[in-house]
Structure 1
Amino acid sequence: MKKVSIAMLLLFVIGCWMLHWPRANAATRPIRQDIDSLLMLQSSVKVYPNPVISSLTIQSRKSIHQLVLYAMDGKTIKRVAGSGKYNQLDVQDIQRGAYMLNTIFEDGTTTSKMIIKQ
């Protein structure tokens, strides 16, 4: 019988959970959901360093309207206004663990990235 590591199990659980991400905190603007926009969003945001210790850098091809950091239970941890295509998010005051960073762009589209806080 093949052993499954804790990390692989965690990735599987998080992947399944992301398919059912709560929409309670979703933007009220209309969201483009065609295939081209989804593929474009995958490569349009760079978030680093990840894992992060104190400050997260977010770079995008499009102007960012808002950044929302969620705990894995869906609770909103931080919500900050975006400032163009280059943003910093201070995470010194949050606990260690896994989080989801939801980026809302000026055109109403969104993307999410998993963030690990050390």
Structure 2
Amino acid sequence: MKKISIVKSLLFVIGCLMLHWPTANATIRPTRQGIDSIMMDRRSVLVYPNPVIAALNIKSRQPIQQLVLYTMDGKPIKKMTATGKNNQMYVRDIQRGAYMLNTIFEDGTRTSKMIIKQ
């Protein structure tokens, strides 16, 4: 019976793994299909800066009707009637911490983002 060195065994195992390892350019990208993905694109909201110090800028693809800022335990602390797709909410008067910004669109759909106040 022949003895095989540990180095040769490791090289053999690594070689076998390399044969079955996916190539670097084989990227799998999930496709977004269906009405849910279309609705999510329409309801996407860009909120910046986050963390915020004085004012939040809110931009969306569809017109916004109302913005509501909630504490993490669900209490509304700031409501604002919004117009159009670009809005600004001043938050200098609220305490530091984590909040949820609820965006209500003109068609009645909603989306939420977590906001950090510095």
The bucket for the TM-score relative to the shorter chain is: 0.5 to 0.7
Give the alignment's TM-score, normalised by structure 2. 0.67
Structure 1, unaligned stretches of length 5 or more? 1-33
* CA distance in structure 1 between the partners assigned to 2:46 and 2:61 by the alignment: 9
Instruction: Kindly report which structure 2 residues correspond to 1:35-54, keeping only aligned pairs within 5 A, or say none.
Output: 35-41=36-42, 44-54=44-54
More strand by share: 1
Q: Deviations over 1:51-102 (max 9, x none)?
A: 0000000001100000000000100010100110000000000000000000
Contact kept? 2:42, 2:61, Cα under 8 Å: no
1:61 aligns with 2:61: yes
Where in structure 1 do 4 or more consecutive aligned residues deviate above 6 Å? Answer: none
Residue pairs, 1:50-89, within 5 angstroms: 50-89=50-89
Distance 1:72 1:60, change over 3 A: same
Structure 1 residue identity aligned to 2:59:
Q
CA, structure 1 residues 81+108, in 2 after alignment: closer, same or farther (shift >3 Å)? same
Task: Provide structure 2 residue ranges, at least 5 long, that are not aligned to the other structure.
Answer: 1-34
Give the C-alpha shift of residue 40 in structure 1: 1.9
Change (3 A) 1:111 1:41: farther
Q: TM-score, length-normalised on structure 1?
A: 0.67
* Greater Rg by CA: 2
8 Å CA contact 2:64–2:103 kept in 1: the answer is: yes
Q: Count the aligned residue pairs.
A: 84
